[in-house]
Structure 1
């Protein structure tokens, strides 16, 4: 058994045929998801490269696009980051002098470079590597030596991105997937930023053996993030209020093993509400006196949600193919349903930008156990403020807090550490609290 567990642990660090990967092209210039299926390819600039060399390598490997006899290919680089750091750590008198130089005397008239486009294309046809092309460009630049050290580094980096693009193979995780979608198309995940996602998981007390209820209208990001943190110890129930379940296809990007994927369930809200309502009636012993109540609909069903027009069209599905074992099941075992109905869920996470938070809270808070934490995410503060006011007035929760996460990214480089010039203005708002039972 121990040998099997060790083998599985080692395999998780390596890419396998059919697994999903996040391709970081040129240090964040472009982020793309891909499945390592046979003959799969990715377009890097104008070059189309097969992904076959990416199978069986450790996550975190860096590849360079190079010209080959049959077109462009991905060639793995050995320790590119270490080599770059060693070069930056070298401090000599010449480096100090170059730092003191500035670019005031430079005239940008497009005549400094003597190497023509035809010469560069000829070098490519002859099989020259990207590093050789960059060295030739530096050697044939009349203004390179007059530039400051920072300008020289920027020049080399710009040419490297053009003639020798790098592709970093990243493991899909809650952070990396959230970062990728927030950079590509934040509307798909309701403008949920990675620090806000971390706050949701923390305030909901997601940990081992938790029973988490999730209303996920963010493409499956919340469901996958909870399942990743549980690691197969506990369960996540992703509910839906419509006749057809909303997509949670982002779960397929996480390469979950069988034990983790088996604890992800899809159950309709009406089914959960009906089971909880019937269990409470049975516990109160009112079946005999209020037999007619058992035939009525629960006080709140999924149909009472207020949905914005055409809200379903705003959630797009990832175009990757399905991965075996990573599909959320559209049912739950009887023992799980019985436990949820009698004991309630241990926490609740709501990510539904197109629904009214107060209506959601009215329907879903009764499904929780007493003193269970809940968090509701929304891109705007006003709906959450109104929901917070109603929760206080109805005495449904305590420790209510409406917060706005704040994140500042820094560029950390020698002699030029400063906050990034462009940052996101907001990552959304979070309403958190603890449910209470009126007795």
Structure 2
């Protein structure tokens, strides 16, 4: 029950129809949706996925508080008397609506439902009945979306985060769509007891959160999350609010720092059991060594790299050849390397590089474009706004046989 209760410090996804926004809960918390400012303190102590109604604060404009509703009932009571044949005679001069802006704002101030406001707009429109049936339907949907007064507070999940990041700005996740993400996890065969190596240079922590979510918390698996900067991107990792035990299974290290540590062999010998038992050390030992956190993380990562990993995933802004050449040495035989890129040409260079090697087979470069369709009565067509997604290269490493 406590896990499903919204508390201060938790991340929530505020959803208003198809619009979603990630928000960290705190005292006196407000969120801005379009031009509306919403005080969301009322959701604290409630369970996720509950629905709230936006109620205008007295003496304010477009500032709302929330009240819980037990059941959401949406009824479209807009009366459409007639429709036109075409829109050729309709002139968009901004004078078709007889209600002024202040009168429309007064409708919202009176706390009318979105259906009632849309009905008033239709009744006072000079051109609505002249529009075609299709144009009328678009108009009604647009206005209902604008004046929709309900929001839902949802618990972050990998699917919701992937869709939200991609809708807001695909560049935040290097163009990874939900179908691309699922293929990365499938090709790398991510499971609970595996050790995985990820190089990520800009997906807001989405790929790392997805892998850690698949590993779980009551397992033996680990994720070595390499990144190029001093700090990794971890918006998605924070939003998922993983348990402490699960978070400790993600080892965040700088690429160059951990490789330097590995090749210098400056790693204390510790057993895997000692490393995974929440790093139980005495205070005397800690004070004696006085090593910074990043150095401990490097040592943990190097111990896993010595044993080699069960899957290698690379999602990089940089050209992937040099990064891949450096990291495939840590991949076990009979395991897969998966590389994602928004453009094809860098992966073509990597494809030919792996072809020249003798330790990789089944090298494949593909783009499984997922086309979304809009299905409506008597018409079906692709979505108007679609992005192409990216390309994925996969290759399997051969097992070295010793005589």
* TM-score where L is the length of structure 2: 0.78
2:237 is the alignment partner of 1:251:
yes
Q: In 2, Cα distance between the equivalents of 1:183 and 1:202? A: 23
2:28 counterpart SS class: coil
How many equivalent pairs are there?
Answer: 367
How do 1:136-175 residues align onto structure 2 when only pairs under 5 Å count? Answer: 136-145=120-129, 147-175=131-159
User: Using a 3 Å threshold, how does the CA distance of structure 1 residues 149 and 174 change in structure 2: closer, same or farther?
Assistant: same
Q: In 1, Cα distance between the equivalents of 2:187 and 2:340? A: 11
2:222 counterpart SS class: strand
1:375 counterpart SS class: strand
Q: Pick one of 392, 397, 400 that aligns with 1:435.
A: 397
Shift of 1:411: 1.9
How do 1:333-412 residues align onto structure 2 when only pairs under 5 Å count? Answer: 338=303, 340-354=304-318, 356-412=319-375
Question: Contact between 1:375 and 1:430, CA under 8 Å: does it hold in 2?
Answer: yes
The aligned counterpart of 2:178 is 194
Shift of 1:57: 4.0
Q: In 1, Cα distance between the equivalents of 2:231 and 2:330? A: 19
Q: In 2, Cα distance between the equivalents of 1:144 and 1:265? A: 59
Shift of 1:36: 1.4
2:56 is the alignment partner of 1:67:
yes
Please give the root-mean-square deviation of Cα atoms over the aligned residues, in Å. Answer: 3.4
Question: Contact between 2:87 and 2:131, CA under 8 Å: does it hold in 1?
Answer: no
Q: Is there any run of 5+ residues in structure 1 with no aligned partner, and where?
A: 1-6, 89-93, 283-327
User: Using a 3 Å threshold, how does the CA distance of structure 1 residues 334 and 188 change in structure 2: closer, same or farther?
Assistant: closer
* TM-score where L is the length of structure 1: 0.72
Q: In 1, Cα distance between the equivalents of 2:37 and 2:374? A: 31
How do 1:59-208 residues align onto structure 2 when only pairs under 5 Å count? Answer: 59-69=48-58, 71=60, 72-73=63-64, 74-76=66-68, 79-80=71-72, 83=74, 102-104=85-87, 107-108=90-91, 110-145=94-129, 147-208=131-192
2:8 is the alignment partner of 1:21:
no
2:227 is the alignment partner of 1:236:
no
Q: Is there any run of 5+ residues in structure 2 with no aligned partner, and where?
A: 270-292
Question: Contact between 1:388 and 1:400, CA under 8 Å: does it hold in 2?
Answer: yes
User: Using a 3 Å threshold, how does the CA distance of structure 1 residues 334 and 44 change in structure 2: closer, same or farther?
Assistant: closer
Shift of 1:348: 0.8
User: Using a 3 Å threshold, how does the CA distance of structure 1 residues 271 and 147 change in structure 2: closer, same or farther?
Assistant: closer
